[in-house]
């Protein structure tokens, strides 16, 4: 899983290569973990197929590390923070980054373009739970994926900004396409804040959990949005166990993941790849 944010065109860092290493699932998972495996990391419940360390997970794609920085303990997938796991809904909440375009009188317009790459992982972006959100007063920003470019435009001219309303006035919202495993945010440079920086220095684009966002008119007038969310924008990911349907997976009990007596297998298909939760 890879997450990055790079000034202009400098490429981001490559964080983790995932290969599917299938390990024997012999445990009684009534408690939701393999024996001897932690049930929590910080405040987050860690439930199989996820695990702290690959040996506690179904395979390395669900392996997390538990990291303590400055007294705060958090699970990480690669370098991405995991804030919640739901096995019932086959979702995971993680933290991503904001793309920004800011004008500073000292050095002009600065760009930070964030990207998220979930290719070759069990995860993809939930089109139901997330939205593409653009904030700014003279802004046209894009979310690009392998087969889509989606633009959203926000203005503050001849409109009334309202808290909680994101429909073009200072804030623009668009749907996330289905089955996306990659995106990058960027800005149309012909829309910038060179002439309005004293009122509105920055523009932003982010793909984030809809329920965690509410437009505040202060977001276009200051860096409050960035300061509030910075590197902790929540995004909701779907995940599936690949590459078999329940019927096929059940035939091999040593790799079948639904081993708790309380579990139930449900088929799902992401793009063309069969899987289950």
Ligand X SMILES: *[C@@H]1O[C@H](CO)[C@@H](O)[C@H](O)[C@H]1NC(C)=O
x/- track of binding to ligand X for residues 172-211 (CB under 6 A): -----------------xx-x-x-----------------
What is 160-215 written as a DSSP string?
Answer: ---TT--SSBSEEEEEPPTTB-EEEEEE-TTS--TTTTTT--EEEEEEEEGGG---
Say how far apart CA 229 and CA 231 lie, in whole Å.
6
Kindly state the smallest distance separating residue 164's Cβ from ligand X, in Å.
7
Kindly state the smallest distance separating residue 264's Cβ from ligand X, in Å.
21
User: In this chain, which of 68, 230, 252, 269 binds ligand X, going by CB under 6 A?
Assistant: 252
User: In this chain, which of 223, 255, 260, 263 binds ligand X, going by CB under 6 A?
Assistant: 255
Say how far apart CA 17 and CA 9 lie, in whole Å.
22
Tokens linked to 269: 């298909």
Residue of 69, 73, 30 lying closest to 52 (CA atoms)? 73
- Does 106 participate in binding ligand X (rule CB under 6 A)? yes
User: In this chain, which of 83, 144, 218, 263 binds ligand X, going by CB under 6 A?
Assistant: 218
- Does 109 participate in binding ligand X (rule CB under 6 A)? yes
| Number of DSSP helices (H) and strands (E) in the chain, helices first | 3, 20
Nearer to ligand X, 95 or 216 (CB): 216
> Of all residues in this chain, which one has the CB nearest to ligand X in the complex?
22
Binding site for ligand X (CB under 6 A): 22, 69-70, 104, 106-110, 163, 189-190, 192, 194, 216, 218, 224, 252, 254-255
């Amino acid at each position: 899983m890879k997450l990055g944010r790079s000034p202009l065109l400098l490429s981001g860092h490559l964080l983790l290569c995932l290969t599917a290493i299938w390990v024997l699932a012999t445990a009684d998972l009534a408690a939701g973990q393999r024996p001897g495996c932690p049930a929590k990391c910080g405040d987050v419940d860690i439930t199989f197929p996820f695990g702290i360390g690959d040996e506690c997970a179904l395979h390395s794609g669900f392996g997390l590390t538990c990291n303590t920085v400055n007294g705060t303990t958090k699970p990480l997938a690669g370098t991405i923070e995991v804030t919640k796991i739901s096995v019932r809904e086959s979702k995971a909440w993680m933290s991503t980054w904001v793309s920004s375009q800011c004008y500073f009188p000292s050095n002009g317009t600065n760009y930070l373009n964030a990207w998220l790459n979930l290719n070759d992982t069990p995860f993809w972006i939930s089109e139901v739970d997330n939205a593409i959100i653009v904030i700014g007063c003279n802004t046209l920003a894009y979310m690009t994926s392998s087969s889509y470019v989606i633009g959203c435009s926000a203005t503050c001219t001849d409109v009334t900004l309202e808290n909680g309303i994101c429909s073009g006035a200072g804030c623009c919202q668009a749907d996330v396409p289905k089955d996306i495993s990659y995106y990058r945010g960027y800005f149309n440079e012909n829309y910038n804040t060179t002439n309005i920086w004293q009122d509105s220095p920055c523009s932003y684009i982010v793909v984030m959990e809809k329920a965690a966002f509410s437009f505040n008119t202060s977001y276009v007038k200051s860096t409050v949005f960035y300061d509030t969310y910075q590197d902790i924008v929540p995004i909701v990911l779907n995940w599936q166990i690949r590459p078999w349907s329940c019927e096929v997976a059940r035939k091999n009990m040593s790799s079948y993941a639904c081993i708790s007596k309380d579990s139930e297998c449900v088929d799902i298909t992401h793009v063309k790849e069969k899987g289950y939760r």
